[in-house]
A and B are shown apart, each in its own frame.
Chain A
Amino acid sequence: MTAPEELPKLIDDCVHCGFCLPTCPTYVLWGEEMDSPRGRIHLMKQHAEGTPLTPSMAGHFDACLGCMACVTSCPSGVQYDRLIEVTRAQVEQEHPRTRGERAIRGMVFALFPYPRRLRALRGPLRAYRRSGLDRAVRRTGLLERISPSLAAMERLAPAPGRAPRLPERVAARGDRRATVGMLTGCVQREFFPGVNAATARVLALEGCDVVVPRHQGCCGALSLHSGRADEARAFARRTVEAFEGVDVIVVNAAGCGSAMKEYADLLSGDPAWAARAEALGARTRDLAEFLVELGPRAERHPVPATVAYHDACHLSHAQGVRAQPRALLAGIPGLTVREIADPEICCGSAGTYNLFQPEAAGELGDRKAENVRATGAELLVAANPGCSMQIAAALRRRGEEIAVAHTAELLDASLRGLGRAGVLTQ
């Protein structure tokens, strides 16, 4: 990981041109310099030059979504991703959190990176949704009073369906073209099991042997993007180990793929792991990226539907994957794909952001929901579980429902000839 000593050099790359401002979600919301990438870099500079980390500074760093839209829009090549990563770690070390913040953070980081603990929640959550208790709780506003973060968590949580477990190996259909490892993720695996099943089927139908290592855990993305570097490194080592046997690791969650591609940097200070981490990062591919590289072989059947494609920040800004998912969707006969206005602006999900900064996340969710609605699409396609939950929740707040699907699910419906019913009745 970038050492704090390297900060001044990285900070100096910024020429203060302001090109990052219009793509920064918090600048779009509040119009304040210190809540823009340029302003945050200025704050980092003040801190690097000896100003102690004040609560106001920490607040502006916490308010950053880490969406990396500024990295895309920066003409000077400022590595804001590295800057904010180091800065978040500094905030965790130097800035005392309130007891309430500590409790919520403790809970989030003790829950989300652990699929087994998430699984334990599935039953109670299902019962809670079915009983109608959720609506009653929301009416009382009780959670909101206890903690806005808890209330956000309650609102965002999906009603989990059945979760069939993937076998350790799924055999290729027809001649084998590749053997790929598949990351199942945490939230993806427990709350969106259909996405993983669709991913495995699509890969197999396209001629890939799919290996799903049993001993994989969290990739560490959530911790890495929240300044919990040691925790992230521990998760990263375990993931590296789990996937060392395969040529390619396919990831269907944008945040995870982005974190894994950065393993080299994360573990660069650890001689025993640096080379292994780098090798793993180089073999990691987003599902769409991999499928386009592989080229289509299986027959595509029509899916007559109108969809809006949403760019997940950790896919478009962090991994530069924009054209590939669109190309895959364009290859489905009968499918109409609409673009969402202001695609570069984050939906507010941003990993744990919608839990820790529920107010800003809610406003960004509303903006995105409005732009999604304006497309007139009947189905929202996104490649990150967080985005789907966030946008669907924002639409629900407006009293509207939209079906959501992962790119993998649409491809699955097309490859298996399920038609509209394959994606619109879920």
Chain B
Amino acid sequence: MEEITRALVDLLGPGAVITDPVRLRTYECDGLTHHRATPGVVVLPESAEQVAAVVRLCVAAGVPYVARGSGTGLSGGALPRTDGVLIVTARMRRILEIDIANRRAVVEPGVINLDVTRAVRSEGYYFAPDPSSQQICSVGGNVAENSGGAHCLKYGFTAHHVLACEVVTPDGEIVTLTDGPGYDLLGAFVGAEGTLGITTKITVRLTRVPETVQTLLAAFESIEAGGVAVSAIIGAGVVPAAIEMMDALSIEAAEDAVACGYPPGAGAVLIVELDGPAAEVEHQFAEVERLCRDAGAFEIRIAADDAQRALIWKGRRSAFAAVGRISPAYLVQDGVIPRTALPEVLGRIDELSRQSGIKVANVFHAGDGNLHPLVLFDDAEPGAAERAEEVSGKILDLCIEHGGSITGEHGVGVDKSRYMPRMFTDIDLDTMQMVRCAFDPAGLCNPGKVFPTPRLCGEVPGVRKGVHPLVEQGKADLF
């Protein structure tokens, strides 16, 4: 590391290179704290050219590198390499261009998600992807993880709001990927979890602020009743901007944390938000209210203004971190199931929880079946972490069993790579790795993420040797 560190200091100056062991350790994990690795060296570049130069140094030295934005990821996607360089984009945070007429903005990767919205709100626009961490997560991180959020049911994921990315490729070249004709390389890049290169400039789509927003909070005695309401709303052809559900345990945590004042005694609360033209919203809102009551809602609160809406959302948005108040440690799970399987899967999770004695709090984007079970445990208790991990894994099995997925929006990262073979065959995984090798033949760009066993590209770190097994078998050609 010494040699490359010297070169990095020459390149970026001492103020942008961190080598002090005590300081390096503060970068040992992102938002997922049970995977830790102290980076070999941390750099804080301020331009695409600097990022490209750092990557070229890494490639020349055969040193792996990992990009990191605000460090809020929940799958360990930005977990550093002890033998590598951590490229932090936190100082690349300029909003370069706002083009309201064409509804687009160009931002650097370290720009905070919510800051894009703040910059264009007065013009009547916003940046639609809204992960719960939007106040701090970076747009570059959103691109890497293809982040969603509460409103992706209606508005889609980050991929639907990115028009172009300037990318430093794993060769250290600066290229621009667009959604123009030809292969959808932008589509491949967004959501690749930082394995295909590092984005240095992002052109995002700006969305018009809807004419009206209506939000209600409905309290039910049970999760099942809430689930019935969700199915009824979607079944009626309403596409809400968001439908979120929280169970009793997560309500308790949120209440403790931010005093959101949800109806006492609720077994579940449902937050339903509709937006769009006033006439349409009013009509559908009345219907949603009726459907909630039919499903057994014992209290319905309608936000009269933005302040009340913010209070309703406050509980939901703070839920993950708030669980820290009721449990010494927890795992945030992220899985997807068909909406129709909701009651059954929740019942099975409850069963798992009772059998194992490990509490599970449930928060989820109910509209698109994206579950976020929070598996609570006490890390001071011997074996508790392992049992929690087991319960967490079994929840993913339940998702796969019901035709769902092991991740909805947090990504695979390092945390879920081992579950990939449960969802995909070896051939599927090998094919995906072919794509990766096409971008990163040396296997130095965020290695060890997404795939369980990097069996191709000559392992990591190091330059690829030999023929790809799929090529050898005549199943694929490498161009």
Binding site for B on A (CB under 8 A): 12-19, 21-22, 30-34, 38-39, 42-43, 46, 51, 54, 56-57, 60, 73-77
B72 and A31 form a contact (CB under 8 A): no
Per the 8 Å Cβ criterion, residues 1-48 of B in contact with A are 18, 20, 22-23, 25-31, 33, 44
Residues of A with C-beta under 8 A to B258: 75
Query: What separation, in Å, do the CA atoms of A18 and B27 have in the docked complex?
Result: 12
B22 and A57 form a contact (CB under 8 A): yes
Binding site for A on B (CB under 8 A): 18, 20, 22-23, 25-31, 33, 44, 70-72, 88, 90-91, 93, 110, 112, 133, 135-137, 256-258, 318, 320-325, 328, 330
Residues of B with C-beta under 8 A to A43: 22, 26
B26 and A19 form a contact (CB under 8 A): no
Given known A-B contacts A22-B136, A75-B318, A76-B321, A56 and B27 have beta carbons under 8 A apart: no
B325 and A21 form a contact (CB under 8 A): no
A17 and B135 form a contact (CB under 8 A): no
Residues of B with C-beta under 8 A to A13: 324-325
A22 and B135 form a contact (CB under 8 A): yes
Contact of B72 (CB < 8 Å), options: A18, A30, A60 = A18
Given known A-B contacts A32-B44, A76-B257, A77-B324, A16 and B31 have beta carbons under 8 A apart: yes
Residues of B with C-beta under 8 A to A30: 91
Contact of A34 (CB < 8 Å), options: B26, B91, B135, B321 = B26
Query: What separation, in Å, do the CA atoms of A57 and B29 have in the docked complex?
Result: 18
Query: What separation, in Å, do the CA atoms of A19 and B27 have in the docked complex?
Result: 16
Query: What separation, in Å, do the CA atoms of A14 and B320 have in the docked complex?
Result: 12
B110 and A19 form a contact (CB under 8 A): no
A312 to chain B, nearest CB (A): 22
Residues of A with C-beta under 8 A to B23: 32-34, 56, 60
Given known A-B contacts A43-B26, A56-B20, A76-B321, A19 and B93 have beta carbons under 8 A apart: no
Contact of A19 (CB < 8 Å), options: B28, B44, B133 = B133
Residue pairs across A and B with Cβ atoms less than 8 A apart, 19 shown, are: A13-B324, A15-B321, A15-B324, A15-B330, A16-B31, A17-B31, A18-B137, A21-B136, A22-B135, A33-B90, A34-B22, A54-B20, A54-B22, A60-B23, A75-B322, A75-B324, A76-B257, A76-B322, A77-B256
B90 and A32 form a contact (CB under 8 A): yes
Given known A-B contacts A46-B22, A77-B257, A31 and B321 have beta carbons under 8 A apart: no
Residues of B with C-beta under 8 A to A12: 328
A19 and B321 form a contact (CB under 8 A): yes
Query: What separation, in Å, do the CA atoms of A38 and B25 have in the docked complex?
Result: 12
A18 and B31 form a contact (CB under 8 A): yes
Residues of B with C-beta under 8 A to A75: 257-258, 318, 320-322, 324
B453 to chain A, nearest CB (A): 28
B22 and A19 form a contact (CB under 8 A): no
Q: Please classify the interface of chain B as helix (H, G, I), strand (E, B), loop, or mixed, using the class held by over half of its residues.
A: loop
Query: What separation, in Å, do the CA atoms of A38 and B31 have in the docked complex?
Result: 11
B324 and A31 form a contact (CB under 8 A): no
B216 to chain A, nearest CB (A): 23
Query: What separation, in Å, do the CA atoms of A21 and B31 have in the docked complex?
Result: 12
Query: What separation, in Å, do the CA atoms of A15 and B32 have in the docked complex?
Result: 9
Highest count of chain B CB atoms <10 Å: which of A12, A39, A46, A76:
A76
A17 and B20 form a contact (CB under 8 A): no
Query: What separation, in Å, do the CA atoms of A95 and B18 have in the docked complex?
Result: 22
Contact of A33 (CB < 8 Å), options: B71, B110, B320 = B71
Query: What separation, in Å, do the CA atoms of A51 and B20 have in the docked complex?
Result: 13
Given known A-B contacts A32-B90, A33-B26, A46-B22, A18 and B136 have beta carbons under 8 A apart: yes
Q: Please name 15 further chain A to chain B contacts, defined as beta carbons within 8 Å, in addition to the given A30-B91, A43-B22, sorted by A numbering.
A: A15-B321, A16-B30, A17-B321, A18-B137, A21-B136, A22-B136, A32-B90, A33-B23, A33-B27, A34-B23, A42-B26, A42-B28, A56-B20, A76-B321, A76-B322
A51 and B322 form a contact (CB under 8 A): no
When C-beta atoms are compared, the residue in chain A nearest to B137 turns out to be: A18
When C-beta atoms are compared, the residue in chain B nearest to A9 turns out to be: B328
A19 and B136 form a contact (CB under 8 A): yes
Given known A-B contacts A75-B257, A75-B318, A75-B322, A18 and B70 have beta carbons under 8 A apart: yes
B322 and A18 form a contact (CB under 8 A): no
Given known A-B contacts A42-B25, A51-B22, A75-B322, A16 and B112 have beta carbons under 8 A apart: no
Query: What separation, in Å, do the CA atoms of A39 and B257 have in the docked complex?
Result: 22
- The 7 A-B pairs with the shortest beta carbon distances in the complex, nearest first, are A31-B90, A76-B324, A75-B321, A75-B318, A39-B26, A15-B324, A18-B72
When C-beta atoms are compared, the residue in chain A nearest to B29 turns out to be: A16
Query: What separation, in Å, do the CA atoms of A57 and B25 have in the docked complex?
Result: 12
When C-beta atoms are compared, the residue in chain A nearest to B322 turns out to be: A75
Residues of A with C-beta under 8 A to B133: 17-19
Query: What separation, in Å, do the CA atoms of A14 and B29 have in the docked complex?
Result: 13
Residues of A with C-beta under 8 A to B136: 18-19, 21-22
Residues of A with C-beta under 8 A to B88: 31, 33
Residues of A with C-beta under 8 A to B318: 75
Highest count of chain B CB atoms <10 Å: which of A30, A51, A75, A77:
A75
A291 to chain B, nearest CB (A): 23
Query: What separation, in Å, do the CA atoms of A167 and B330 have in the docked complex?
Result: 59
Query: What separation, in Å, do the CA atoms of A19 and B314 have in the docked complex?
Result: 13
Residues of A with C-beta under 8 A to B135: 19, 22, 73
Residues of A with C-beta under 8 A to B30: 16
A76 and B325 form a contact (CB under 8 A): yes
When C-beta atoms are compared, the residue in chain B nearest to A28 turns out to be: B93
A120 to chain B, nearest CB (A): 42
When C-beta atoms are compared, the residue in chain A nearest to B254 turns out to be: A75
Query: What separation, in Å, do the CA atoms of A57 and B133 have in the docked complex?
Result: 28
B33 and A15 form a contact (CB under 8 A): yes
Residues of A with C-beta under 8 A to B72: 17-18
Residues of A with C-beta under 8 A to B22: 34, 43, 46, 51, 54, 56-57
When C-beta atoms are compared, the residue in chain A nearest to B20 turns out to be: A56
B82 to chain A, nearest CB (A): 16
Query: What separation, in Å, do the CA atoms of A16 and B22 have in the docked complex?
Result: 17
A18 and B71 form a contact (CB under 8 A): yes
Query: What separation, in Å, do the CA atoms of A367 and B323 have in the docked complex?
Result: 35
Residues of A with C-beta under 8 A to B112: 22
Residues of A with C-beta under 8 A to B321: 15, 17, 19, 74-76
Query: What separation, in Å, do the CA atoms of A74 and B33 have in the docked complex?
Result: 17
Query: What separation, in Å, do the CA atoms of A42 and B23 have in the docked complex?
Result: 9
Query: What separation, in Å, do the CA atoms of A149 and B256 have in the docked complex?
Result: 43
A31 and B320 form a contact (CB under 8 A): no
Contact of A46 (CB < 8 Å), options: B25, B90, B324 = B25
When C-beta atoms are compared, the residue in chain B nearest to A31 turns out to be: B90
Residues of A with C-beta under 8 A to B320: 15, 17, 75
Query: What separation, in Å, do the CA atoms of A14 and B328 have in the docked complex?
Result: 10
